[in-house]
Amino acid sequence: MVLQSSGLSKVKDSLTQKIFLGNEPNAELIAILTVYFVQGILGLSRLAVSFFLKDELLLSPVQVSALFGIVLLPWMIKPVFGFISDGLPIFGYRRRPYLILSGILGTASWVSLATIVHTTWAATLAIALSSLSVAMSDVIVDSLVVERARGESQAKAGSLQSVCWGASAIGGLITAYFSGLLLQYFTTRTVFGITALFPLIVSGVAWLIAESPVSKDSQDNTNSLPIKHQLKQLRQAITQKTIWLPTAFIFVWQATPSADSAFFYFSTNELHFEPEFLGRVHLVTSFASLAGVWIFQRFLKSIPFRVIFAWSTVLSSILGMTMLLLVTHTNRRLGIDDHWFSLGDSVVLSVMGQIAFMQVMVLAARLCPSGVEATLFALLMSVFNSAGTVSRAFGALITYWLGITATNFESLWLLVLITNLSTLLPLPFINWLPAEEQTETPKDSEKPFLPDLMSELVLREPESKIVE
């Protein structure tokens, strides 16, 4: 019995160190990791949404681009959810009820897509509510991770972030290929019905959150003042030139027009790529994104912001021009099959996109002063997502001007040229970024911000030729 107990203890210690990176696997940690895992696994419906809008609602590339810009709105106001959760407890609880509500909201939105949604406006509302569900749960679990990491060492906090990121990444990788494979055998509405099951898991594990009820007196005395003080600190922070100038650069950098929706129509209507192949591309590019993270951490994290932003912008623009070979079918004259060309090109662009995106995350973390770290980081990510909406709007407008439709791709090469050249527009403003190297404050990247990074990775794929 003693030997058996000793063996079980060693197994538990090994799992704690290797799987949970030293974090004690208690019920609350399992709940937090489950929420992040669900965020990743919701990618199962990504392709189904695109095909539903294209084939069943018969929307044009311009309309799809505009719709996706609208459904990003919840991610633009993430700090609001944090203030609501902190200032308006439900039955005395600040975290658990909001997680339960987010899960119910997510399930309701996917069930409606699977059953009663038949118009563009109804689809926009349902998809926006599903986006709201994920954004709300993301903010809540972010706050839980911040609370757990507050009393820990920087190394321990970093390991907590890493295991959370791993849970989300695993969920995303599991569904990357199946998002296309399921569409080979089932309808989009069936996929929506399957997806509706996962948000309920969030509502279920919410009961595992260790949270004590907040009395009205303690809420009035200990909660309102910190919020007012936090708002004051936040206002002081965003008025500093060293913060708003880099933030403005991030906005300009991210707001350049995108051709994502037009490429999805081109890949399915012109190149006749099947959903299974698009899922395979998504799987490969997901691994390529992880490779980009590794390359950044291994070789590029000590390079000054201005240098890596300048080079990544130029190289991404040049590499993006290779898509001209695909849209003009030049690759066929070179003897390169459309599938192989798309796959290889997507891998390279995903690696480059992820390296640039990691740089944004590190910069955002370093801009956050002490005292308002989580709130200001969420605000910076809201600016980033707002720029993404502007990018889609510009892309939709240019697509409309060029007359690109679901079947007419004669001017797609010009859209590719414009969108890739526009990525160079932020370069004249490169001096808005800090000039110092990242290694001057090496512990900044270990602040408890990675949960926000996870949700952004799930939401925003590095721009590539095949957009799902």
10-residue mean pLDDT series, the chain (468 residues)? 53 54 69 89 92 94 90 84 78 86 96 95 95 90 68 47 72 87 93 96 89 61 56 76 88 91 92 90 84 78 83 90 93 91 84 78 68 68 86 92 93 95 94 66 38 38 36
At 445 the pLDDT is 38
CB-based burial, 387-411: b 16+ in 10 Å, e otherwise: bbbbbbbbbbebbbebebebeebeb
At 149 the pLDDT is 54
CA 394-398-402 angle, 5° bins: 170
Contact criterion met (CB below 8 Å) for 52 and 181: no
Tokens of 148: 């757990």
Distance CA 77, CA 121 (A): 21
- Cβ count within 10 A of residue 71: 20
Q: Residue written as tokens 């679901």?
A: 406
Distance CA 420, CA 425 (A): 10
Q: Residue written as tokens 């926009």?
A: 124
The count of C-alpha atoms lying within 13 angstroms of the C-alpha of 153, restricted to the half-sphere facing its C-beta, is 5
At 54 the pLDDT is 93
At 329 the pLDDT is 92
Distance CA 112, CA 117 (A): 6
Q: What's the pTM value of the predicted model, to 2 decimals?
A: 0.78
At 451 the pLDDT is 36
Helix axes 78-87, 120-150, angle to 10 degrees: 60
Q: Length of the chain in residues, anyone? A: 468
- Residues 6 or more apart whose CB falls under 8 angstroms from that of 228 comprise none
CB-based burial, 343-369: b 16+ in 10 Å, e otherwise: bebbbbbbbbbbbbbbbbbbbbbbbbe
Tokens of 445: 């990247």
Q: How far apart, in Å, are the Cα atoms of 431 and each of 27, 213, 246, 366, 369? A: 47, 49, 9, 17, 21
* Helices and strands (H, E) in the chain, number of each type: 23, 0
Contact criterion met (CB below 8 Å) for 363 and 433: yes
Nearest to 192 by CA among 379, 318, 27, 51: 51
- Cβ count within 10 A of residue 85: 20
